Structure 1
Amino acid sequence: MDAERELCALKLAGCLPPELVAHAAEEMAREREEAARVLYVAATRARDLLVVTAVGDERHDGWLGALSPALYPPPERSRDPETQQPPGCPPFGMDSVAVRPPGTLRPAGSVMPGLHRPEAGSHRVVWWDPAVLKRDVQESVGLVQHRLLEADASGARSEEGIRQHAEWQAERTRVREAASQPSLRVVTATEQAASVGDEELSVAVESVGPDGARPHGKRFGTLVHAVLARVDLDADRPGVETVAALEGRLLGATREEIAAASESVERALAHPLLRRAAVAARAGRCRRETPVAMRLPDGVLVEGVVDAAFRDGDGWTVLDFKTDVEITGRVEEYKRQVALYAQAIERATGVAARGVLLRV
């Protein structure tokens, strides 16, 4: 356990981390210390009588092992109890083990049932004879219920209990109904953009589309987005290809998809908007993959992640990258989405912001 780094090494599927193997002795010491703490808490909770399970034939190591000196008599007195009928107990037999195979000899030091003085402490310990215990006794539930009814012959207590239970049920229903109503409704910018009606939006749509055919599909779109999110805005072709190769490997993309993504990102980086973003980035005025949130007039909280936003002489310019497959038939919806991002940034910074959809 590394409390400072909030790390814990555990055995998993029969395998141990090297750190746990190297510090096995320390971990065992900690386990023993923890067992001692748990045992202390358990033992000191007893007020009048402490019942402990133990084996009369021998002492066993374990978390109860620390109590052994306070339970077991010295070996030379293990068969010589002060009495075999302690106060409040029935007469005991000669063996503290319930079942012993025929012909098996009792080991030296086996404790005889009775009242013993242990090795440590001035108290006394009663070693019970398991033969006199009534084991596997089933509780008579019907008898208990009958006694409860006899104690409330007039029915006053039961009626009061019914009333209190009805009140509890009513309060429980009220609390659950109140708790089922969300105190805050949160939607993504994508969901909000898809749900609102058609309104006039001042969002520009720019394009750096491919010169010819290229791969399509969700994986390719995800790859292009991932490269645009991580590549340096001033990166050259080798730099773009390095990032594309890494992201493509993570996504399991084909060579054709990686090559096409590199070309698409290189064209996007050459677009005037991203050249302005690169200049702003060098001045510390560009944000990429930045989460934003905004509360609408109806109380709904809209949240999303902005692909890129930069500030220059024209205020904030908010960019949202879309591939041709993504944007087909959904231009207005995506314009509403980037408009929400621009509105959130303008409200948060107090500086005018405009949104741009950039097709890559």
Structure 2
Amino acid sequence: SLETFLEYIEAAQMDEDLEIAQPQHPNSVKLMTIHQAKGLEFDIVFVPGLSRQIFPDTKVTSNPYARKSELPYHIREDSDYLPSFESVMSRFREALKERAMEEERRLGYVALTRARKKLFLSCAHWYGEERSTSAGPGEFFAELAGKEPTEEDPGCPPHPAVTLRTNSPRPDENPLRDELELRAAGWPPSDKVEPDDLFTGGWRAALVEARRDPDSIEKQVAAAGIDRPEWDASRGEVAEQLALVTTPAPPAPIDERLKSLSVSNMVQLARCPKQFYWTVVRPLPRRPSRAARLGNDIHRWIEISSIGQQKLDDPEEPPDLAPEEVGDRPGRSLPTEESLKKAFMDSRFAEKRPRYIEQPFVISLEAGYLVRGRIDAVYVEGEEWELVDYKTGMQPAEDDEIAKLQLAIYALAAERIWGLDPSKIKVTYFYLKSGNTVTTAAEDLTFTEKDLLAMFEQVEARIFDPVPTQICGSCDFLRFCDAGRAFVAAQSSEPQ
């Protein structure tokens, strides 16, 4: 509604980090930056803020001779397109401003070409109650709306396609300051309720009485002699408005991406639903992980070193890495690549011939859910099948049931792919860092297909509560996870 949209605008002004949630309904207002609008088109587009020093904004923020953090232009690959410094700093700054204007003009082109039918441009003389100087129309607005000639500027007529709706004169003083004073004067608001013709004691007293006696409103209407048809019509309008407020919102459409998850996604969801949310549902940027890179390199090396049925092409997906294999935990050193390779060469798997390497699979569940993954190695001896997953991270505690989820999915995949009896399947984690192997019979695994379905239903129900564990210390999202920060703080305060 218009009211909630205006409330969102007010909240966005108060909180610069407010997340921009785009309504999915086609007949709704989409609020986004120009960069977010690239590639999109809409019938009607509003571009506000075309004022001086706002849009275009030609402030120079990337002067390599004024900021040490900036890469010198002469060693950049795009140096041919950048201003060159020729011993006069003032000329160089002017060149930087010209380049900044070029960038703003490109951005302006993107903004103005998003509209299919109508484009509304606006600017204001004053922005913010703290400003002491007015802004006024910016260069882009003036070029379209036209501007009067001056001694320094020859001016220009309005663009033929532009209709100038309003052009109010510039107030000498900032009017937003008066608005702020009016708001302050009206605080705290008065709770006094004025009586009217129907509710002579005020609407609050009438509400209290109606809760005690539901027929009291009808009695007051009859006693006041109010026109009945007019009353019923007004009551119907209010009822419709209340229905809009109280009716539950329709369920959000199912995101088809979330109906197909990798094994790594499933383990992450079981470990911490909130980390899964920030990784898969609403992905946020993540730091480059040395641990994940090491895990990928080792898996690839083992695949190449092994003998058997190898794939000639690269895997379509990275290996199934658990959350504890992806994050770089502060203060914890990683094993060397050489030590992990040596652990594999010293193991019983080095001389074995695997039947399958990096075996891809997709498990189809009810309601169209899919679980996809890759089994690192499959060894067959007689009628016994061993599914092996190589781990480069820390070995979890023995009572960690979630650690067995990945093995349970592999066992289920083997049953589906090769029609194996669970009694003939065993699944193994080989922890290269310690050289330990942990083997479990498929029949002893507690996770079932129903558990996987329940996890997908959890995703559809949007249940993503954080579950603090040891992985919080290496989580990329710890900075804004209250539960995770509290857990880490408690862990660090405990005596070692």
Task: Answer yes or no: same fold by TM over 0.5.
Answer: no
Q: Which has the larger radius of gyration?
A: 1
Report the TM-score, using the length of structure 2 for normalisation. Answer: 0.32
Higher relative contact order (CA 8 A, sep 6+): 1
Report the TM-score, using the length of structure 1 for normalisation. Answer: 0.41
